[in-house]
Amino acid sequence: MTSKNYEDKLVTIRKKIDEIDSQIVELLAQRRDKIRELAKVKSSLKLKIRDQKRETQVIANSEKRAVEMGLDPSFVNKIFLEIIEYGRRTEGEVRGEVKKIAYLSPRGTFTEEAALKYATGTEAELIPMSTIASIISAVENKHVDIGIIPIENSVEGSVTITLDLLARSEAKICGEIILPVVHNLISKEKISLDKITKVYSHPQALAQCRTFLAKKLPHAHLYETLSTAEAVKMVAEEEDTNIAAIGSLAAAKLYGMTVLAEGIQDEQTNETRFAVIAPEDTEPTGQDKTSIAIFLLQDRPGALCEVLEQFKERNINLTRIESRPSKRVLGDYIFFVDLEGHRKDPKVKEAIINIRKIAGEVKIMGSFPSAKKKNTLSL
What are the domain boundaries of the chain?
3-95, 99-180, 184-261, 284-367
* 284 CB burial (10 A radius; 0-12, 13-18, 19+): middle
228 is catalytic: no
- The 10s digit of each residue's pLDDT in 232-257 is 999 999 999 999 999 999 899 889 89
162, 225, 228, 272: the catalytic one is: 272
Write the pLDDT tens digit of every residue in 182-221.
999 999 999 999 999 999 999 989 999 999 999 999 999 9
Is 3's pLDDT higher than 90? no
pLDDT of 97 > 70? The answer is no
Work out the average pLDDT over 359-375: 81
* Between 326 and 357, residue with greater pLDDT: 357
Q: What is the pLDDT of residues 280-304, one digit of tens each?
A: 999 999 999 999 999 876 666 777 8
- H/E element, 134: helix 132-140
What letter does residue 316 receive in the DSSP assignment? Answer: P
Phi, psi angles (nearest 5°) of residue 142: 60, 30
Of the listed 80, 110, 212, 274, which one is catalytic?
274
If pLDDT is split at 50, 70 and 90, which confidence band does 376 have?
very low
pLDDT at residue 277 greater than cutoff 50: yes
Distances (CA, A) of 170 to 142, 174, 267: 11, 12, 35
- Give the model's confidence band at 375: pLDDT under 50 very low, under 70 low, under 90 confident, else very high: very low
Assess if CATH 1.10.10.10 describes domain 99-180: no
- Architecture of the domain spanning 284-367: 2-Layer Sandwich (3.30)
DSSP reduced 3-state for 197: coil
pLDDT of residue 297: 66
3-state SS assignment for residue 176: strand
CA 125 to chain centre: 13
Average pLDDT of the chain is 89
31-80 pLDDT, tens digit per residue, is 999 999 998 898 889 888 888 889 989 999 999 999 999 999 888 998 99
Which pLDDT band, with edges at 50, 70 and 90, does 130 fall under?
Answer: confident
The answer to whether the CB of 378 falls within 8 A of the CB of 250 is: yes
Beta strands in the chain (DSSP E): 99-104, 124-129, 146-153, 157-158, 172-180, 184-187, 198-201, 221-224, 243-247, 258-261, 271-278, 288-296, 318-325, 333-340, 359-369
Contact yes or no for 113/377 (Cβ under 8 A): yes
Query: Are domains 184-261 and 284-367 of this chain identical in fold?
Result: no
Q: Which CATH number fits domain 184-261: 3.20.20.150, 3.40.190.10, 1.10.3720.10, 3.40.50.1100?
A: 3.40.190.10
What SS3 class is residue 372?
coil
Fold of 3-95: Chorismate Mutase Domain, subunit A (1.20.59)
